[in-house]
Amino acid sequence: MISGILLLDKPQGLSSNAALQRARRLLGADKAGHVGSLDPLATGMLPICLGEATKVAGEILSGRKRYRFTVALGARTSTGDAEGEVVETAPVPSLDRATVEQVLSRFLGEQSQVPPMYSAIKRGGQPLYKLARAGVEVERAARQIRIDELRLLDLRPAELELEALCSKGTYVRTLAEDIARALGTCGHVKQLRRLYVEPFDGEPMETLESIEAAVQAGGKPRLLEPDRGLTHLDPVWLGAPAARRVAHGQAVTVPEVRQPGRVRLYDAAGRFMGIGEADAYSIVRHRRLMTTAGMGL
């Protein structure tokens, strides 16, 4: 069974799930899941966990994301991006770089953001975007997000080109609307590209075309090992007896572990076993183990 993390450069026009299913079929993977949805309009990095790597998808989801996007000023759309109908227009004031950068600085740090109606968040089992398409709008609870960087790359008469590094759960469409409003007008996302998902900054991506070419040539695309997405977790190496106990569901004491929290588990041969949890007493228990954990011990 194929296993690993595929860094897909999602093309414009496909939903994240459609891109996932196409990649899964090309590779013949039984299990697959993507990390962090991208709108059909958006392009860029969509990590896809295949096989055993699906067990670490939740941890990768917590990573920050970097986006490059263009905000078209003067028109707000029903979806917050170029795919929606224009629902509001407003004149665009004369803007200079200093003014825009001063406004952008207000969006840095921790803040609350109300998710848009055109999102996959569910209400009563229904995704909000389905309710929105039916003309129904419901109240959404604000979520805490964090924006660590927000840079102005280019300023044109009615457009801003921006780059942002933000926490999970940040909706760039909503951010773009809020920025436009703070500049005294309205706006929407014209283009959006996700440059990377942490910790994959600088890693090359595969396209659907390169995947197909690799498969047709009898090979496979570049896949990362499941633990490559867990570099934010401390590694814990277990001796043979301890690894055997953990593989059988038992807790072990590891004196070297002094901080509570999730950890990466490795056996004495350096093989990745899965995700563990350490408590304040240096006791480590498994959370998610690879199917191969414990083999050969």
Q: Report d(CA 79, CA 96) in Å as an integer.
A: 28
Q: Report d(CA 190, CA 178) in Å as an integer.
A: 15
Q: Report d(CA 274, CA 55) in Å as an integer.
A: 8
- Least Cα distance to 37 among 115, 124, 109 occurs for 115
As to burial, measured by CB atoms within 10 angstroms (0-12 exposed, 13-18 middle, 19+ buried), residue 60 is buried
Catalytic residues: 39
User: Which residues is 163 bridged to in the sheet?
Assistant: 68, 151
Q: Report d(CA 143, CA 128) in Å as an integer.
A: 15
* Cis amide leading into 199 (omega within 30): yes
